[in-house]
Structure 1
Amino acid sequence: MNGATSSLRPSLAQPCDLRLGLRANLAQFSLLVAVNALVGGMLGQERTVLPLLADRTFHLSAYTAALTYIVAFGATKAVTNFFAGTLSDRFGRKPVLVAGWLIALPVPLLLIWAPSWGWVVFANVLLGVNQGLAWSTTVIMKIDLVGPARRGLAMGLNEAAGYGALAATAMATGAIAAHWGLRPQPFFLGIAYAAFGLGLSVLAVCETREHARAEAALHRTPANPDHRSELATRQVTRAVSLTDRALSSASWAGMVNNLNDALAWGVFPLLFAAHGLSVARIGLLAALYPAVWGLGQILTGWWSDRIGRKHLITAGMLVQAAAIVLVAVGGTFPLWALAQVLLGAGTAMVYPTLLAVIGDVAHPAWRARAVGVYRLWRDGGFAVGAVLAGALADAYGLTAAIWAVAALTAASGLVVALRMYETRPQE
Structure 2
Amino acid sequence: MKNKTGRYSGYIRPIIIFLDLLIVNLMVLLCMRSAMSNFGYHTILSIFWLIISYYSGYYEVYRFSKGIEIFGKLLKQFFFIGLITFAYVGYKYKYVTTDEVGLYIFWSFLLVGLLKFSIFFLLKKYRLLYGGNYRNVIIVGHGKSVDELKDFFTKNPDYGYNLVHIFDLKSNKKTELLECKDFVVKNKIDEIYASINTLTNNEIDNLIHFADNGLKTIKFLPDSKNTFLRNLAVEYYDYIPIISLRTIPLDKEVNKRLKRIFDIIFSLLIVVFILSWLTPIIALLILIESKGPIFFKQKRNGLNYEEFYCYKFRSMHLNPIADLEQVQKNDPRITKIGKFIRKTSIDELPQFFNVLLGDMSVVGPRPHMVSHTEMYAKSVDKFMVRHFIKPGITGLAQTNGFRGEVETEKDIINRVKYDIFYLENWSILLDIKIIFATVVNAIKGEKKAY
What is the TM-score with the length of structure 2 in the denominator?
0.27
More helix by share: 1
More strand by share: 2
What is the TM-score with the length of structure 1 in the denominator?
0.29
- Using CA pairs under 8 Å that are at least 6 residues apart, name the structure with larger relative contact order, 1 or 2: 1
Q: Which has the larger radius of gyration?
A: 2
